[in-house]
Amino acid sequence: MANQETVLTVENLGVKFEDDNEVLKDLSFFVQKEDVLAIVGPNGSGKSVLFRALMGLIRHSGKINWAEGLKISYVPQKFHIDAELPLSVWEFMKFKTKNRTKIIEVLKAVGLAEHHDEHHLVSHILKKRLGWLSGGQIQRVLIAWSIIDNPDVILFDEPTSGIDVGGEETIYNLLKKVKEERTLTIILISHDLNIVYKYADSVICLNKKMVCYGRPSEVLDPAALAKLYGGETAFYKHEH
C-alpha cells in the first residue's frame, strides 16, 4: 500500500475528550503525494478534530506519520477576526515573509486585486485592518498566507465557508491552479459534495469513525451517504 510517495500514514487514530467522549475512533488512511483528499461528514462528526490531531494540536491515540521534511500549512476553520484588532493585512502577511513583491504577487493570485489593479491592492487592501475585510476577503488572505512559503501540504478546514457561490468556484480553481504550478498535496474539509466530486482524488466520509474511504466516484453512493447523513440527501452524481 504505502510507498515512498506517501506523505501521510494514519493508523488506528482515536481522539477522546476529557469527559471520555470518543470523537474519533479507529481511523486508518494514507495520503499520496500530490493527492487531493477530501473529508466529508455531518456537523460534529470530528472533521476539524481530525485536522487538529494531524497538526499535533491535540492528544490522540494511534499513529500519525508524516513523511520527513515536509512543510505543512494549515488554515483553521473560519474564525472571527475582531474589526477592532489593530493588525493590517500587510503586517499579517509579513509574519510569513518580508518579501513585498511576493506578498503582492500571492494576494493578486488569490483574487484580492480587482481586475488585477495593483494600486487598489497596495493603497487600500494592504493598509486596511484585517478585521475590516469581508468574510470572503479574509478567507482569500488566509489562503494566500498558507501558500506564500511554498508548503508541500496544505490542510484546509472548509476553505470556502463565508464565501458566496461564485467566489467558491474561484477559490477551488485557484487551489487547482496553485497545485498545477507546484508540487502540492491538499487535504480539505468540505460540505459540498459537488466540489468533492470535481476536485478530490479520494474522499473520507467521517462520522466519528470511517463510513467510507476511496475514490469519490466509487464510494460516494446513496447508501454511504444515507449512512453518513442519516437520511435522504439531495445529491446527484456527476458523470465524467
Partner 1 sequence: MINSLYLQLLVGTLIGLGSGYIGSFMVLRRMSLVGDALSHVALPGIAVALLIGINPFIGAFAALVVAILGIWALEKKTELPSETLVGIFFTLSLALGLLLTPEPELLEALFGNISKINIIDAALTGIFTVFIFMAIRRLAKGLMLSIVSKDLAKSVRIPVDKMNLIFLLLVAVVVALGLKVAGTLLMGSLVIIPAAASKNISVSLSRYTATAAVFGGLSAFSGIWVANYFNIVPGPIVVLAGGIVFLVTLLFKK
Binding site for partner 1 (CB under 8 A): 52, 55, 57, 72-76, 79, 81, 84-88, 90-92, 95, 127-130
Identify which of residues 30 and 74 has a Cβ nearer to partner 1 in the complex: 74
Whether 125 contacts 107, CB under 8 Å: yes
Identify which of residues 52 and 208 has a Cβ nearer to partner 1 in the complex: 52
Block residue for cell numbers 502540492: 184
Identify which of residues 63 and 94 has a Cβ nearer to partner 1 in the complex: 94
Count CA within 13 A, CB hemisphere, residue 33.
Answer: 12
Question: At closest approach, how far in Å is the CB of 85 from partner 1?
Answer: 7
Question: At closest approach, how far in Å is the CB of 134 from partner 1?
Answer: 17
* Paired sense of beta strands 202-207 and 209-214, if any: antiparallel
Identify which of residues 84 and 232 has a Cβ nearer to partner 1 in the complex: 84
Question: At closest approach, how far in Å is the CB of 180 from partner 1?
Answer: 25
The separation between CA 220 and the C-alpha centre of its own chain, rounded to angstroms, equals 20
Question: At closest approach, how far in Å is the CB of 77 from partner 1?
Answer: 9
Question: At closest approach, how far in Å is the CB of 201 from partner 1?
Answer: 24
Dihedral sign of CA atoms 57, 84, 88, 182 in order: positive
Cα–Cα–Cα angle for 70, 22, 78, nearest 5°? 55
What residues pair up with 39 in beta bridges, in sequence order? 189, 204
Grid coordinates belonging to 238: 456527476
Identify which of residues 14 and 76 has a Cβ nearer to partner 1 in the complex: 76
DSSP letter at 159? T
